[in-house]
Structure 1
Amino acid sequence: MHELIRDITLCILFAWGLGLLAHFTRQPLILAYLIAGFFIGPFGMGWVKSQESIQIISELGLIFMLFMIGLEIDLKKIVRAGRVILFAASGQMLGGCILGVLFFMAIGLSLGGGGFDALYLCIACALSSTVIIVKVLYEKRELDTLPGRITLGVLVLQDIFAILFLAVQPSLADLQVSVILLSIARVVALVVTALALSRYVLPPLFHQIARRPELVLLGALAWCFLIGEIAELLHLSREMGSLVAGVSISTFPYALDVTAKVTTLRDFFITLFFVALGMTIPIPNGSVIGLALIIAAFTVVSRLVTTFTPLYFLKQGLRASLLPAINLAQISEFSLVVIQTGVAAGHIKTQTASAASFAFVVLAVLSTFAIGRSDQITRASIGFLKRIGLRDLDHSHAEEGEEDGHGEGRRILILGFFRAASALLSEIERQNPGLLDQIGVVDFNPVVFQTLKGRGIHVTYGDISNVDTLVHAGVGKAEIIILSVPDSLLKGANNEKLVRHVRSLNTAAKIISTADVLSDVADQYAAGADYVVVTRLSDAHELFNVIEAADQGLLDDKRAEIDARLSERREVLP
């Protein structure tokens, strides 16, 4: 016991020290934890030698990580995901697995006869890292963009796919129809039990302890380990049980409270899991490094092929098809979980597992930089893709423009289309529908392009920071030009630069721009704006009116008024 405590102490100390170094050098924390484990483990300095300690630390971390992954899987969102995400995720996972099996068998890895290296690697390479993607997209404020939503939807469905694999994984050595059906029956029994308890037993219990944080935390941990033990009794795994435990309470009323209470504990044990995983990585030889580089290269290429292709054929445009492919081009931390279960079951060689871990490290670093610079990569790639014959959504529009005299202008031009522009269009439609014929929109969101085109509104597909797009859209002929997208959502530009750019193309138009920060207002006027909208002022005015209504006992009337206004609107972006 004392040896285990000493080993955990070393894990935390080195994880923290290398984590600080990773933070200051802007590297993924998971990379720091893996290096920390390797450094103190039996293949490094040898300070942690006990295989029992490593196994206990790893299993505890794995249980908590899967429990938290389950908590973050919202089944309602999957149901509402829509055909684009469903088809994209299906194409990416099935295509990735098929390509993976064929590729890894072609390079000599086993499939069957007790060895399932090719199968485990194809599953591992089909999954992407939620930790890395969400962190970088959050920092870039791209989680709520169309490519961001597609990326997150694919990630959620990947987790469901991994659950299904873990269900049949213990029976791979004797994979018969009866065995598969028995495994599925066990999973169904586990899921039904967990859902029934979470629906009828947990809510009243958590309602009673909602004001006692320590009991909420203890209840969440008890639930996680209880379902884990039920899974063990059903000859599944505790890890899968913890995942089902998280999913089963992901939508119940206290899920947010449970998540908030368990998050700190989760971070602690996830750190331990990755440090323990680092301890199992041997000093690489040439063959391990070579296989790792092959795995990394295959992951990037297969992800681009299997993600870009279905999105392109679903007419999402080159940009919205490329960005999710770039976002997803790495190996998941869940992949390491799958690999480790394979090692524990004797299905995969240690050398193959080590190569997969090295490939994860390589892609974790490269992917962080690639996602951070995805807009520049996409802009450079679109030109190349067009030159080799791929058509973007602006192709049919360009042909129409040539027939109509190229670049027929509109009196009012909206550059960039997000929620403010959607609300503006709905307001015009309600108060002065005749004005819609005088309005043109420029944006590269395929949903916006297709919806506006379906409503008969003139729309140009393209990047508003591109000169050719603006010229083609008729900026030089417009009388009123509206920049409605805030700086936080603009890519490769900001409103001040856009105002200056637009003013150089049209010296006479009235330019209306948007500012998030008060200090930007003067800069935009200096750049040539005629009026700058500061949305916080209108928001503050509305909130003040709501407070007054509440003080006067008229909040219900105020709500009825806004409900009536909302019911009349046909927003492009709800």
Structure 2
Amino acid sequence: MDTSIVHSFFLIFAGAAVVASVALYTKQPLILAYIALGALFGPYALKLIDHPALLEEMSHIGIIFLLFLLGLDMQPSHLLNMLRKASWVALASSIIFAGFGYFTANAFGYTVVESVIIGLAMMFSSTIVCIKLLPTTVLHHKHTGELVVGLLLLQDILAIAVLLVIFAAGNTQDTETNSYMNYVMPLIGLPLLIVGAFLFVKYVLLKLIAKFDRFHEYIFLLSIGWCLAVAVCAEALGLSAEMGAFIAGVALATSPISQYIATHLKPLRDFFLILFFFSIGASFDLNLLGVVIVPALILATLSILIKPTVFRYLLKGLKEDRSTSWEVGFRLGQVSEFSLLIAYLATSLGLIGIEASHVIQATAILSFALSTYVVILRYPNPIAISDRLRRD
């Protein structure tokens, strides 16, 4: 059926209000309710939404704002210290996760290339789920939150490198020079973007904010423009828009205005994040569920079991206590939205088949569900069932 974008928004947000009410009454995570709604309304079930690709593009803005707000809560000195400490942990853990993904996929009869891609998809944890389940006013400023964020950022850097390798492997028409530049550009672009962002904030942005700080609408527009401008610059330099948004936030974090901006952008972020989780459900072909459910369930379960164990022992090398290590591991226990990007890119380049792609997608969705349940039942978070654990 042909529906307008207004009609689609009505179905999504009216439906989300209904399923959110049911989820809260039955003490279920809201994230899973939005994914289930997407699967129900999407092109593979009721077919009420017939342009999920457009909604997926729009939902991407939610992730950008999420990383921008995260950056606003991070002091650059603390962040650099954490990245220095945790870099080897992120690298070692990613190699281990890729290995168990590869061997599991290979055991189910997928080709070597498909098994490698599935293994690569298992390397990363979900920035959006982890940050959504971090108490925004408490844990970001505590050691556990810094560890989680530092590891996620290092994984994001590795994920960008993986996407570049997949693109180079699949794009056989590229010249050797262009392929080489695909690797070099991000290495040059990242320091340029960081330095440029901090200089612009110091000499331009903060002066504009100080001069017109009584106009709240202006501050709102300026912060959105700044976030999206750095995100676009990051993409132009071969990086991800999410990384650019995070850099934009960190560059502003040293200013007292950062907390005011963070508070006023949260409703906008939540609007787009509902679209993000809805689009995950809507893009999954339910006809393939019977084929991919067993390997996906095994991969998701292994992710929830292996990732906390690996992080527990690797973080021991950083002299982290047992409780903190387990909590960080369980918070990072799911598969990433980058895994979905890896699946989409590898499929579009002809490196893997539709079935292997849906194994990755189903694993991501199942791991989101399992990990969310573990965190909301055990650790402080904004959507906890227990009043004792609810923090925001």
TM-score clears 0.5 = yes
Does the 8 A contact of 2:309 with 2:326 survive in 1?
A: no
* Matched residue, 1:97: 94
Partner of 2:382: none
**Greater helix content:** 2
Structure 2: distance between partners of 1:279 and 1:366: 19
CA distance in 2, matches of 1:245, 1:211: 22
For the aligned residue pairs, the C-alpha RMSD in angstroms reads: 3.6
Cα distance, 1:98 vs. partner?
Answer: 1.2
Which structure 2 residues correspond to residues 371-382 of structure 1 after superposition, within 5 A?
Answer: 371=375, 374=378
1:2 Cα deviation after fit: 7.6
Q: Secondary structure at the match of 2:96?
A: helix
Structure 1: which 5+ residue stretches go unaligned?
376-487, 490-574
Q: Distance in 1 between matches of 2:125 and 2:312?
A: 16
Determine helix, strand or coil for the equivalent of 1:37: helix
- 5+ residue gaps, structure 2, are 170-178, 380-387
AA in 1 matched with 2:98: V
- Cα separation, 1, equivalents of 2:93 and 2:239: 26
Counterpart in 2 of 1:355?
Answer: 359
25-34 or 352-361: bigger deviation: 352-361
Shift of 1:279: 1.0
Question: 200-209 or 162-171, which moves further after superposition?
Answer: 162-171
Give the structure 1 partner of residue 222 of structure 2: 219
1:523-559 CA-partner distances (Å, limit 9, x unpaired): xxxxxxxxxxxxxxxxxxxxxxxxxxxxxxxxxxxxx
Corresponding residue for residue 385 of structure 2: none
Provide the residue aligned with 1:504 in structure 2.
none
Residue type at the aligned position of 1:100: F
Q: Is 2:123 the partner of 1:123?
A: yes
What's the CA shift string for 1:426-468, capped at 9, x where partnerless? xxxxxxxxxxxxxxxxxxxxxxxxxxxxxxxxxxxxxxxxxxx
Cα deviation for residue 232 of structure 1 reads 4.1
Q: What code does the residue aligned with 1:294 have?
A: I
Distance 1:316 1:67 in 2: 28
Q: Secondary structure at the match of 1:38?
A: helix
Question: C-alpha deviations, 1:443-495, integer Å up to 9, x for none?
Answer: xxxxxxxxxxxxxxxxxxxxxxxxxxxxxxxxxxxxxxxxxxxxx89xxxxxx
Shift of 1:31: 0.8
Offset from partner CA, 1:213-258 (integer Å, 9 cap, x none)? 2111111111122223323443545444334333332333321111
CA distance in 2, matches of 1:240, 1:315: 28
Q: Name the counterpart of 1:192.
A: 195
* In 1, Cα distance between equivalents of 2:230 and 2:83: 31
- Does structure 2 retain, via aligned residues, the 8 Å contact 1:78–1:153? no
Secondary structure class of the residue paired with 1:123 = coil
Mark the CA change 1:76 to 1:349 in structure 2 (over 3 Å): closer, same or farther: farther
Q: Which residue of 2 aligns with 1:6?
A: 7
In 1, are the aligned partners of 2:312 and 2:326 still within 8 Å (CA)? yes
Taking the aligned partners of 2:254 and 2:7, their CA distance within structure 1 comes to 39
Equivalent residues of 1:343, 1:353 under 8 A apart? yes
Matched AA of 1:101: A
Q: Please, which of 296, 300, 303 is the counterpart of residue 292 of structure 1?
A: 296
CA positional deviation for 1:269: 0.9
Normalised TM-score (structure 1): 0.55
Aligned partner letter, 2:16: A
Q: Is the 8 A contact 2:159 2:338 kept in 1?
A: no
State whether structure 2 residue 208 is matched by structure 1 residue 205. yes
Name the residue aligned to 1:268. 271
Q: 1:281 aligns with which of 279, 284, 290?
A: 284
C-alpha contact (below 8 Å) 2:101/2:122 kept by paired residues = yes
Which residue type is aligned with residue 188 of structure 2?
A
Q: 1:183 to 1:372 in 2, by over 3 A?
A: closer
- Who is 1:475 aligned against? none
- 1:487-517 C-alpha deviation (Å, 9 max, x unpaired): x89xxxxxxxxxxxxxxxxxxxxxxxxxxxx
* 1:305 aligned residue: 309
Distance, in Å, in 2 between the alignment partners of 1:372 and 1:12 is 24
Residue 43 of structure 1 corresponds to which residue in structure 2?
44
Q: Distance in 2 between matches of 1:365 and 1:285?
A: 16
Matched residues in 2 for 1:144 and 1:231: separation? 24
Q: State, as a whole percentage, how many aligned pairs show the same letter.
A: 24
CA drift at 1:162: 0.4
Aligned CA distance change for structure 1 residues 266 and 373 (closer, same or farther; 3 Å): closer
Alpha-carbon separation, structure 2, partners of 1:25 and 1:6: 28
* C-alpha deviation, 1:328, in angstroms: 3.4
Equivalence for 1:22: 23
CA distance in 2, matches of 1:57, 1:144: 27
Deviations 1:149-182 (A, max 9, x none): 3354133332243045326624533277664223
**2:152 pairs with 1:158:** yes
Work out the CA distance in 2 between the residues paired with 1:152 and 1:239: 18
**Superposed displacement of residue 313, structure 1:** 5.0
1:225–1:50 CA distance, 2 compared to 1 (3 A):
same
Q: 1:19–1:341: structure 2 CA closer, same or farther, 3 Å change rule? A: farther
CA distance in 2, matches of 1:277, 1:144: 27
The Cα of 1:126 is off from its aligned counterpart by 8.1
- Structure 1 CA distance for aligned equivalents of residues 35 and 354 of structure 2: 16
